[in-house]
Amino acid sequence: MCGAGQVCDATGTCGSGCWIGGAYYAAGSTNPSGDCQQCNPSVSTSSWSFKPATTQCRAAGGVCDVAEYCTGNSASCPADAVVNAGTSCRAAAGNCDVAEVCDGAGKTCPSDAHAANGTSCGSTGYGGWGSCGGGANYCATSGTQSRSMTTYTCNSGTCNASTSSQSQTCSLTPTTCAAPTYGSWSGCSYYDVCSNEGERSRTVTRYSLNCATGQCAASTTTEYDGCTRTMPTGSCGSPSYGGWGTCNVSNYCSTSGTQYRSMTTYTCGGGTCNASAGSQSQSCSVYPDTSCPGASYGAWSACSFGDACTTTGTQSRSVTSYDFNCSSGQCNASTSTQTQTCTRAPPTVECSGPSYGAWSACTSTDACGQGGVQSRTVTTYSASGCQCVASTTTETQACPTNSTYPWMACGNMCVNVSDNFNHCGGCGQKCPNYKFVCVEGICEFQ
């Protein structure tokens, strides 16, 4: 008798094993009918024992597959399963590659795909601005300057650089002419003997820029200024006033300004009443109209989709807004672009019927060239997702050649059956004996 955990094998020798169904199995042997059962003499020597739940019973078949393990209470390995759909199986290899994920059905990672052509794959790079130039003349205050601009987009999985030029308006400093020069004041010339006011003058030379030549030209004028002396005392009349002038404002948006009127005073000098002209100012209010039209909108553009299969895209329209310009008193228009998302029904695909290539030349298939074969390609189209997939096969047909009766292919020979004893009128139609001859395909007795 064998000890605990042992049984007799086929030779009658005790060993660590199991005797199950009339057969001996060594310790650790797997049940041929159940991947998750084994011979475990420490548990039973006469029946199969369950393998531990940590035992792998099926290895993973790909990056999107998972290994299966015994449950510890079932003889069979659990059903084959794959990782959840959306699980990453291949990381993006660069800015122009896209990551692939498992589809939840297959064991392998989907084919490697690239980012769509035209996708941005890098920040736009700019060169330094060039010098400002291109003014209309020497008085111009604005010109243009340019710089290089490099953009990066994907094409067939590769990030490609494209360089163009960008320009902008810039400020120019026109030539500055010299400051005005002044002569000496002349003596004061009084209006009359009793007047306390007079006038003096001096020359003023001013310099202005010639926009065409860039040179400063001089022009001289006479400048006048009032002068006074001690006025005789005593007034000889009440001041008189003119009407108030228009309200002067700093710009079209101002609500307050200044207005002026003339004022004449009379003084006595040497027994004569002399008039003295002056002006008076005061603050005034205005009510400017700074209203502008409301914004106007262009028509929405057609919906633009990223590819033939997407159902969500974008469309845009122009928006023109108006702002009041306080310097010019005009409403200035500015245009911007407004965008929104748009959708469409999933595209349907209607594939075209088959297309055929031209028949090839007829190729002879017998000794006389009376039978032949020719072929052509046939391309059929079937819908796959939102695309038509082409499949090409080859079609053949029999075709005639130029050889005609009485020549016929008999076996591997080309025979004239109009006078051949063994093939009289057709292949294998032999005349009865040599007393007959074949004439025009008929055995005639001689």
Asked if residue 100 belongs to a domain, the reply is no
Q: Which two tokens stand for residue 202?
A: 């001096």
| Distance, CA of 336 to CA of 296 (rounded, Å) | 11
Would the pLDDT of 271 be above 70?
no
Res. 403 pLDDT band, cuts 50 70 90: low
Would the pLDDT of 261 be above 90?
yes
Question: What is the rounded end-to-end Cα distance, in angstroms, of the chain?
Answer: 106
CA angle 224, 226, 208 (to 5 degrees): 25
What pLDDT score does 371 carry?
Answer: 66
SS3 state at 78: coil
Asked if residue 207 belongs to a domain, the reply is yes
Asked if residue 194 belongs to a domain, the reply is yes
Would the pLDDT of 402 be above 60?
no
Q: For residue 444, how far is the Cα from the chain centroid?
A: 90
What pLDDT score does 13 carry?
Answer: 81
More confident call, 18 vs 274:
18
Render pLDDT for 87-124 as a digit per residue (tens, 0 to 9): 888 888 888 988 889 988 888 998 888 888 988 988 99
Going by C-beta distance under 8 Å and a sequence separation of 6 or more, which residues neighbour residue 317? 297, 298, 299, 300, 301, 337, 338
Global model pTM greater than 0.75: no
- Mean of the per-residue pLDDT values for the chain? 86
Q: In degrees to the nearest 10, what's the CA dihedral of 434, 439, 445, 446? A: -80
| Distance, CA of 236 to CA of 242 (rounded, Å) | 19
Question: Hey, what amino acid is at 295?
Answer: A
Would the pLDDT of 309 be above 70?
yes
What pLDDT score does 441 carry?
Answer: 85
Report the pLDDT averaged over residues 69-76: 91
What pLDDT score does 221 carry?
Answer: 96
Report the pLDDT averaged over residues 421-425: 87
| Distance, CA of 233 to CA of 273 (rounded, Å) | 11
Residue 264 CB burial class (10 angstroms; 0-12, 13-18, ≥19)? middle
Report the pLDDT averaged over residues 396-411: 72
Question: Which letter does DSSP use for residue 87 in this model?
Answer: -
Report the number of distinct structural domains present in the chain. 3
Asked if residue 330 belongs to a domain, the reply is no
Res. 230 pLDDT band, cuts 50 70 90: confident
What pLDDT score does 19 carry?
Answer: 87
Domain boundary among 162, 196, 228: 228
Contact 306, 313 (CB under 8 A): yes
Report the pLDDT averaged over residues 134-149: 89
Distances (CA, A) of 74 to 31, 48, 78, 114, 242: 12, 11, 9, 45, 118
| Distance, CA of 402 to CA of 413 (rounded, Å) | 17
Asked if residue 360 belongs to a domain, the reply is no
Would the pLDDT of 182 be above 80?
yes
Would the pLDDT of 401 be above 60?
no
Distances (CA, A) of 224 to 132, 139, 180, 304: 43, 30, 15, 73
SS3 state at 333: strand
Res. 223 pLDDT band, cuts 50 70 90: very high
Residue 384 CB burial class (10 angstroms; 0-12, 13-18, ≥19)? exposed
What pLDDT score does 363 carry?
Answer: 74
What pLDDT score does 319 carry?
Answer: 94
Domain boundary among 69, 87, 107: 69
Would the pLDDT of 262 be above 90?
yes
Domain residues for the domain of 419 are: 405-446
Distances (CA, A) of 24 to 7, 34, 35, 123, 400: 8, 17, 18, 73, 74
| Distance, CA of 375 to CA of 362 (rounded, Å) | 8
Would the pLDDT of 181 be above 90?
yes
What pLDDT score does 211 carry?
Answer: 87
What pLDDT score does 22 carry?
Answer: 84
CB neighbours of residue 82 within 10 Å: 19
Asked if residue 223 belongs to a domain, the reply is yes
Asked if residue 111 belongs to a domain, the reply is no
| Distance, CA of 385 to CA of 373 (rounded, Å) | 38
Asked if residue 52 belongs to a domain, the reply is yes
Report the pLDDT averaged over residues 285-297: 89
What pLDDT score does 219 carry?
Answer: 94
Domain boundary among 188, 210, 228: 228
Contact 412, 421 (CB under 8 A): no
Would the pLDDT of 174 be above 90?
no
Question: Which letter does DSSP use for residue 102 in this model?
Answer: -
Would the pLDDT of 241 be above 80?
yes
Flag the least confident range among 113-122, 192-201, 252-261: 192-201
What pLDDT score does 203 carry?
Answer: 96
